[in-house]
Structure 1
Amino acid sequence: MEEQPVKPMYAPAPPPPAHYAPQQQVVSYGQQPQHPAPQQHMQYGVAPHGRPLGPVGKVRSTWAVLGLSLITFGIYALYYHFATHEEMKQHSGEGVGGAIGLVLYIFTLGLVTPFVLPNEVGNLYARQGRPRPVSATTGLWVLLGWIILVGPLVWLIKTNGALNAYWRSMGAR
């Protein structure tokens, strides 16, 4: 009986086309290789270590947030919490995001959000190696000062002010 040659099940892959070949840079001894500069857009920030960030959020007047929240009986406050959480999530890629921020605000009757929002604002600063102007402990202004109504106002001024300062440092107007 004669043995038949074994046929491979798969044909070998053809070589990649020329346009897929990686470009190699010829560098003489003592020269540094040239790398293209990263693209920077006005609406996008760049972290100090070069990682591109998402779109920059909107600067909101603290007094407008307060006034609109009072005039609309808290409906604007719902929008404010959704929008700020969503902008921070899109910008940094981290955080709870708009939908979860809004759910936290509604289902905890606003008891958790005073801690979460300034914590995320502080994280924006920390990711860039900058000191945190606000943190989760800023939420104590709301809990401890609720009786005389000064605490929530101080919380809003500190938190929204820090967020506005961050957006301005990223190029927002």
Structure 2
Amino acid sequence: MTDLNQPTTPGTPLPPQAYGGRGPGPLGQVRGTGISFLLMVVTFGIYGLVYYYQTHEEMKQHSGEGLGGTVALLLSLFVGPVMVFLHPAEVGALRERAGLEKRVSGVTGLWNLLPFVGTIVWFVKTNGALNDYWTSQGAPA
């Protein structure tokens, strides 16, 4: 039996005990950072809502923890600025539970204080950390 108090090798999927005994759920999709950002711009932010829904639903299905897609979508619709902090916080927590370097956290949302450039940096960092997590767990790149 795997001891959950022992650090795991980065990139090694967590044992089922880390997920309350039920095992990890399905892996999420790796999304190209450039194309995702372009879709957000071209659709005037509508793809951003889809992105939040899909990524948070995948994280919830996989780990059993987090906001889930519906809550993330509602938060992004009604209190959108909160999501720039919650999204990287969830990605960081997901990575941390797997024994990977956290790389992003709620503080990453502060990049959005810099108009446009900060948003790009925030998205590159956050989506990159999420993509890296999915590939470390076996999702195709």
Q: Which band: TM-score by shorter chain?
A: 0.7 to 0.9
* 2:94 paired residue number: 124
Structure 1 position 155 matched with structure 2 position 140: no
* 1:41 paired residue number: none
Q: Out of 83, 86, 90, which is 2:54 matched to?
A: 83
Q: Which has the higher helix share?
A: 2
For 2:40 and 2:97, the matched residues in 1 are separated by: 30
Q: Note the residue ranges of structure 1 that are not aligned, 5 or more in a row.
A: 1-34, 36-44
Question: Which runs of structure 2 are paired with 1:73-112 in the superposition (5 Å)?
Answer: 73-108=44-79, 110-112=80-82
> TM-score normalized by structure 1?
0.69
- Code of the residue aligned with 2:134 in structure 1: it is W
State the structure with bigger RCO (CA 8 A, min sep 6), 1 or 2. Answer: 2
Give aligned-pair identity as a percent.
Answer: 52
> TM-score normalized by structure 2?
0.84
Q: Which has the higher strand share?
A: 1
Q: Note the residue ranges of structure 2 that are not aligned, 5 or more in a row.
A: 2-11
Q: Out of 121, 141, 145, which is 2:114 matched to?
A: 145
* Structure 1 residue 129 displacement after superposition: 2.6
For 2:94 and 2:39, the matched residues in 1 are separated by: 26
User: How many residue pairs align between the two structures?
Assistant: 126
- Code of the residue aligned with 1:161 in structure 2: it is G
For 1:49 and 1:56, the matched residues in 2 are separated by: 14
